[in-house]
Amino acid sequence: MSDDLAPHEKLLPYTRSIRGPDFLDVGCGFGGLTIALAEAFPTKVALGLEIREQVTEYVGRKIVYLRHAHANGSEVSAEAERAALGEKPQEEEEAGEAKECQEEYNDGNGKGPEEKTMAEREQDVAQRKENEGSPLEKDEETELSSEQKTQQHHFHNAGVFRTNVMKTLNNYISDHSLEKMFFCFPDPNFKKKTWKRRIINDEYLKMYARALKIGGRLYTVTDVLDLHNWMYGFLSKSAQFKEVAGTREEIEKNDKCVRLIKTTTEEGSKVTRLGRFGHAMHWAVFERVDREGEAAAAATE
Ligand SMILES: C[S@@+](CC[C@H](N)C(=O)[O-])C[C@H]1O[C@@H](n2cnc3c(N)ncnc32)[C@H](O)[C@@H]1O
């Protein structure tokens, strides 16, 4: 990699943005949400973090491909897209928790996550905007400069990085810099002896709280009810987080990310199509609260 690149660019080889990420897709898998976030929030930088090397490389190629395809205005077939991306990593790849994820969570049909063509993606975005444009979405659209529109179409606001989030997050994400963190369909680690590997617990929440801005949001979604209860339990007890107020319907209506975590993640698609644990997706949205909030929460304990 060139020495002319800023340290940030060396660290995030698929991100040409000169600033750090606003959104983190933790355990991004094949990157569906990371890419959807970049499309839906053209002025923000979305970064996917993934532990599996080949999967990370694949998502990187996909982002680079999307940039080129958008820059050239090319309409491509699913076949052409597959050819451009190369072989998709197999689900059975070995990598610690990821291997366990495959063993315990694999649907076993050998079929990869749904791939969409450029035309289908653009259609999805147009449809989403038509159906459910929130006030935020409309504001962002009208406020876009031509430079930002170019960025939107070139996917320069999407990136991916290989890491073990649980070990290294605070090494490269500045304190209180993130607006949103996503934990979508994390590895369930069903067996009791592996619960310590679950991606949310008291210790890890402190790390995530440090990375999030005050008022930033943390999203979880899973089809495993036990895992949802586990994550919800730690989050609702944490002095650094509070659940976003409102009914489920209100939260979903006011925050388009709730729809995105269910509809654009590869695992969410599988739940819709296959429903191994039923078709329900259990989700939660928590907000990072400030110091006074922490003190007040602590005082009521
Ligand atoms: C079940 S998959 C979900 C993928 C994606 N979020 C989705 O919803 O489609 C969980 C992903 O988390 C990744 N993962 C597990 N532990 C991780 C860690 N400590 N750091 C980064 N990624 C991790 C796995 O490799 C796997 O791709």
Nearest Cα residue to 263 out of 163, 132, 161: 132
Third-level CATH fold of 7-88+113-300:
Rossmann fold (3.40.50)
> 38 C-alpha vs ligand 1 centroid, how far in Å?
19
Tokens 């999805």 sit on residue:
124
Residue nearest to atom 13 of ligand 1 (CA): 27
How many Å is the Cα radius of gyration of the chain? 19
Q: What one-character DSSP code corresponds to residue 245?
A: P
pLDDT of residue 107: 34
Active centre residues (catalytic)? 187
Q: What is the pTM of this model?
A: 0.78
> 268 C-alpha vs ligand 1 centroid, how far in Å?
13
**Residues whose CB falls within 8 Å of the CB of residue 9, separated by 6 or more in sequence, listed in order:** 15, 16, 18
Nearest Cα residue to 86 out of 110, 62, 120, 117: 62
> 83 C-alpha vs ligand 1 centroid, how far in Å?
25
Residue nearest to atom 26 of ligand 1 (CA): 29
Q: Give the number of the atom of ligand 1 that is nearest the alpha carbon of residue 95.
A: 25
10 Å Cβ neighbour count for 181?
A: 25
Residue nearest to atom 27 of ligand 1 (CA): 29
Nearest Cα residue to 185 out of 29, 48, 55: 29
Q: Give the number of the atom of ligand 1 that is nearest the alpha carbon of residue 188.
A: 1
Whether 258 contacts 251, CB under 8 Å: yes
pLDDT of residue 12: 55
Nearest Cα residue to 264 out of 99, 166, 127: 127
* Ligand 1 pocket at CB < 6 A: 27-29, 32, 49-52, 55, 97-98, 101, 105, 164-166, 184-187, 265-267
Strands 178-184 and 212-222: parallel
pLDDT values of the chain reduced to their tens digit, one per residue, 301 residues:
444 545 545 445 555 555 789 999 999 999 999 999 999 998 899 999 999 999 999 999 999 888 888 777 766 567 766 777 777 786 643 334 445 433 433 333 322 333 344 455 455 445 544 544 333 333 344 455 655 555 555 788 999 999 999 888 888 899 999 999 999 999 999 999 999 999 999 999 999 999 999 999 999 999 999 999 999 999 999 999 999 999 999 999 999 999 999 999 999 999 999 988 889 999 999 999 986 665 455 556 5
Residue nearest to atom 23 of ligand 1 (CA): 27
> 299 C-alpha vs ligand 1 centroid, how far in Å?
36
Q: Give the number of the atom of ligand 1 that is nearest the alpha carbon of residue 32.
A: 9
